[in-house]
Every structure is written in C-alpha cells, then in structure tokens.
Structure 1
Amino acid sequence: MTKKEEYVIARYEHGGERFEILVKPKEANELKSGKSISLSDVVVSDEIYKDVKKGLKASPSALKKVFGTTDFEEIARQIILKGEIQVTAEQRKEMIENKKKQIIDYISRNAIDPKTHLPIPRTRIEMAMEQARVQIDPNKDVEGQALQIIKEIAKVIPIKVAKALIEIKVDPKHSSKVKSQLHNLGEVKKTNWLGDGTLIAELEIPAGMQQEVIDKLNSLTKGEVEVKILQVK
C-alpha cells in the first residue's frame, strides 16, 4: 500500500465538473513535462473521484460528458496533462531541489567561461544561481529554464552556451570500437580512415563536456587516443 505522503491529488475541472485521481508527485510532473513514462508508474489507483477526500467517485455520465469516454487510462492522462497536481510544501521543496540539480548539470555540460573556454564547475554555477536569486519551477522543462537561468547568471559570472569541435585520432587496434561509439559521444562531422586502419574523426560536442568525452575516449582506448580541440564557439 502506498503511504499517504507518497501520493497527491491531480485535479481537473471542466464544464462545472471536477475530477480527481491519486498520483505520485514526481512521476506525475515528469509525465506532465513531456517525459515518456508509463501511466501505471504514475497513478496510485484506478479510481476517478469527484472528491477524493470525501471518497466521492465521478459518475460515468460525467466522465462521458467531459472526456467522451469512460476509459481510465485516457481520462487519467488528460487529468494529469490538463489539470493541476497538488503537492505538499515538503514535496515541492524536494521537486525543486531535483530540478535544480538537473539544471546545474545541463548548464555545466553546455556552457563555458568565454574567457578561458573551460567548463564551469558545478559549485560555481550553483553559487551564481544563488547570487542572481533565480527561481526554479519544478513543473517546467530543464532546457528552457536552464537557458533562461544562463542569461540571469551571466550578470554574475562570465558564461555562455558553446559547442566544441574536437578531432580524434585512434590507431587500428581501437578504431572499430571507437567508431561504433562516436554517435554516443557527439555529432559526427567527419570520419576518415587511413590506409593502415587509423581512424581520424571530428566531433561537435557541448563545450562543457570536453573533459567527459576525452575521459570516455581514454577509457575506450586504454589511453591510446589523440584528441585536439579544434574550435570552441
């Protein structure tokens, strides 16, 4: 049985009717924000209520009138996507903290210090967010908020979104393995095979991920790879 503090009410009102279902707050907000998630991982029960607290269930006629169906999954999805998700202060605080971590991660991967062309440490990003007093909405998507926050913290620290173009050179011993992983590392701009089986490739990656990508290449090749930063823009 799901503990009471682990679920909340998702409510949708339309045409003078009110509909409520019990959902897990984190999963419901992920679904609402567009994440692909199974409805069965979101809802707590398969009951649709007129008033959860009073235990009053919605009538089939009301469901049919508003949603055009009595199918639980279709209705529950609409309630979550179109309605409001009620959360406690503690749940909202936790959701904001989780979203904040995701935003900081996005910024650290995609932005750099334009003076040094180096990634910005997560702690520095977090401090800048506090200085700029940015507000985080737990219901809005990470990328949209992160791009807006970058504009705000640019008043506090030098920062910009950038891409890095890198060239990698891998000897024949590891070239096939690396080639199969290139698309997982970034956008492949060029590949060239030398006569001896050496692979030379150019990748465009988020500028903040330079060291992460280099570390992955070193792991794949046991350190036997040459990496050059061709451009940061």
Structure 2
Amino acid sequence: MTKKEEMVIARYEHGGERFEILVRPKEAMDLRNGKSVSLSDVVISDTIYKDIKKGLKASPSSLKKVFGTTDFEEVARQIILKGEIPLTAEQRKEILENKRKQVIDYIARNAIDPKTNLPIPRTRIEMAMEQAKVQIDPNKDVEGQALQIVKEIAKVIPIKIAKALIEIKVDPKYSSKVKSQLHNLGEVKKTNWLGDGTLVAEIEIPAGAQQEVIDKLNSLTKGEVEVKIVLVK
C-alpha cells in the first residue's frame, strides 16, 4: 500500500478542462526530467479524473478533445510532463539542489570569461549566482535556465556562452584510437592523415570544456598529443 504522504495529485488544465491523476512525486519528477522511469512506477491508479477529491472521472470526449486519444498511458504521460506536480518541502529542496548543480555544470562547461577566453571556476559561478540573487525553477529545463542565468550574472562578472575550435595533432601510435573517440569529444570539423600516420583534426567544443577535453586527449595518448586553441567564438 502506498503511504498517503508518498502520493500527490498531478494536475493539467487546458481548454477549460481539468485532468488529475495520482502519482508518486519523486518518480514523476524523474520522468519529467528525462530519466528512464516506468510509468507503472509513477502512477498510483489507472484512472484519469476530472476531480479526484470528488471522485469525478474525466470523460472520454474531454480526453479526446485535449489529448487526441483516450489511451491511459499517453494521457498520463502528458499530464506528468506538462502539468503541475506538488512537492513536499524536502522533495522540493532535493530537486532544487540537483537542478542547481546541473545548471552550474552546464554554465561551467559552456561559458568563458570573454576578457581572457578562459573557463570560469565553478566556485566563481556559484558566488556570482548568489550575488545576483538567482532563483532556480525546478520545473524548467537546465539549458533554458542556464542561458537566462548567464544573462543575470553577466551583471556581476564577465561571462558569455561560447564555442572553442581546437586543433589536435596525434602521434601515429594513438591516432586510430583518438580518431574513434573524436565524436565523443566534440563536433568534428576536419580530419587529415599525414604520410606517417599522424592524425590532424579540428573539433568544436563548449568553450568551458577546454581543459576537460585536453585531459581526455592526454589520457588517450599518454601525453603524446599537441593541442592548440584555434578560435573561441
């Protein structure tokens, strides 16, 4: 039996119609955030309501009107993805902290100091967010929030989202190994093989990930790689 405190009413309103289902809040938020969660682990019952407290079920015609289907799984998924999911104070705190870390990770990986073209330390980003009194929204996606937050903290520190184009030259001993991993490091712009088997390539990466990519290349080649930052834009 699911404890009362472990279930909440997920609600979606559209076109003058209201739809409600009982869900487990943590699993519902995990599903909304793109994690691999079975719908059966999220919903408490297989009924779509108009008003759960009054025991009123949603009519098939209203489901068809708003969702284009009466299929329970499809409707329930849309309610969870688009609707409101109430959270306990503890759940909200945990979700906010996780979303905050994800936003900071995104900014640290994608942003640079435009004065130096160098990545900005996470601690500096966190401090700037505090100074700018940034608020994290648990229901908004990471990238969208991060881009807005960069605009806000740009009033406090020099910062911008940018891409870096890097050129790498790999010793023949490791060239094939690195070639197979290039697509995991960034967007491959150019590759060229020299007569002795040396690999020369250009890849575009998030500007804040420069050191991360260089470290991975050094790990793949035991340090036998030349890396040059060609352009930051």
TM-score (norm 1): 0.86
Query: Which residue number in structure 2 is paired with residue 218 of structure 1?
Result: 218
Q: Give the match for residue 139 of structure 2.
A: 139
Aligned partner of residue 59 in structure 2, secondary structure: helix
Over the aligned positions, Cα root-mean-square deviation in angstroms equals 2.5
Structure 2 alignment gaps of length 5 or more: none
CA distance in 1, matches of 2:191, 2:14: 56
Instruction: Identify if the C-alpha distance between structure 1 residues 22 and 176 changes in structure 2 by more than 3 Å, giving closer, same or farther.
Output: same
Q: Distance in 2 between matches of 1:214 and 1:5?
A: 48
Q: 1:66 corresponds to which letter in structure 2?
A: S
Match of 1:184 in 2: 184
Counterpart CA distance in 2 for 1:109 and 1:63 is 48
Cα deviation for residue 78 of structure 1 reads 2.8
| Aligned equivalents of 2:213, 2:151: Cα separation in 1 | 26
Matches within 5 A, 1:55-74: 56=55, 58=57, 62-68=58-64, 69-74=69-74
- Report deviation, 1:51: 4.8
Q: Kindly tell me: are residues 13 and 203 of structure 1, through their superposed partners in 2, closer, same or farther at Cα, counting changes over 3 Å? A: closer
1-side partners of 2:175 and 2:120: how far apart?
31
CA displacement at 1:32 relative to structure 2: 4.2
Q: What are the equivalent positions in structure 2 for 1:72-221 lying under 5 Å apart?
A: 72-221=72-221
1:230 Cα deviation from its structure 2 partner: 1.5
Assess, with a 3 A threshold, how the Cα gap between structure 1 residues 47 and 210 changes in structure 2: closer, same or farther.
Answer: same
In structure 2, the CA distance between the partners of 1:11 and 1:120, relative to structure 1 (3 Å rule), is same
Query: Structure 1 stretches of 5 or more lacking a match?
Result: none
**106 and 2 in structure 1: CA distance in 2 versus 1, 3 angstrom threshold:** farther
Q: TM-score, normalised by structure 2?
A: 0.86
Cα 1:121/1:9, change in 2 over 3 Å: same
Q: Report deviation, 1:164.
A: 1.1
Taking the aligned partners of 2:14 and 2:143, their CA distance within structure 1 comes to 31
Query: Identity percentage over the alignment?
Result: 84
